[in-house]
Structure 1
Amino acid sequence: MKDGPFDGDISDASNRRNANLDLLRAAAIVAVVFFHVCQMSPVPLTRLMNVASFGQYGVDLFFVLSGWLIGGLYWKEYNKFGNIDIGRFWLRRWLRTIPPYLIALLLSWLAVWMSREEPFDLGYLIFIQNYYDNIPFFLVSWS
């Protein structure tokens, strides 16, 4: 029995990306970047911040879209094979997200080490930096 939002045969048409969701995701990213640029401007941008402040919701939108897309991958696999190898499913997700995280972490730490010779914090490798009172560097690693 196949239940879920992606019932039916898995065809090439169902494996294509949804351009509307990609556009919405891009809009969320642009909104967040715009918010941070205005927020960090050395010159007060009061009028722009009235609009840019909505960018703080871009992160929420991005997480909702990510959940939707990952859920879609889950249901597509379920419909194709009739079950889910959850270990394999998560391994594929990790192989897509962990390498870019590690590259960004390395670049961030190298910049910190070059500017203030701060040692590397191993907590970033096991994702416990969210529990620190103050994250020493790479503040966006929480996501």
Structure 2
Amino acid sequence: MKSYPKLVVLLIAVTLVTATSFAQSDYCPKQKPLDLKEAVGEWKGSFTYNGDLKKVTFYIAEEDGKLLSEVSIPGMSAKKLTAFTKICCGSEIKIEVVVDNKKFDFCGKPKEGKMAGRLVSRDVKDNSSKEVFTVKRV
């Protein structure tokens, strides 16, 4: 008779854990992997930096299943700069480029020829600022 209350408590705990697992899986569905074709191309747009609107162009290519990119930021760089590019969280692109001792991390998700996201810029003293960017495939 003493084991019956323990069994009831155990069943209630299992039910709550199972219900919580199902609720969480609906709340945060798995991300669909990024289709590299969605990312490849020339992207033009702008980003905010220190309160100013700056133009930016990404040139993204795919080679052997990996993304390669160059970045052009008129007024900050006279030429295209090679950038480090990787896929984050399965569906976002992270483009890292250094301009005049400042590192810019662009992170966004391309969808239907548009990409918007966040930008973190850091200087050599590791001071950082968080901004936003938007680009469109041309």
Q: Which of structures 1 and 2 has the larger relative contact order (alpha carbons within 8 angstroms, sep 6+)?
A: 1
In which range does the TM-score fall when normalised by the shorter chain?
A: under 0.3
Higher helix share: 1
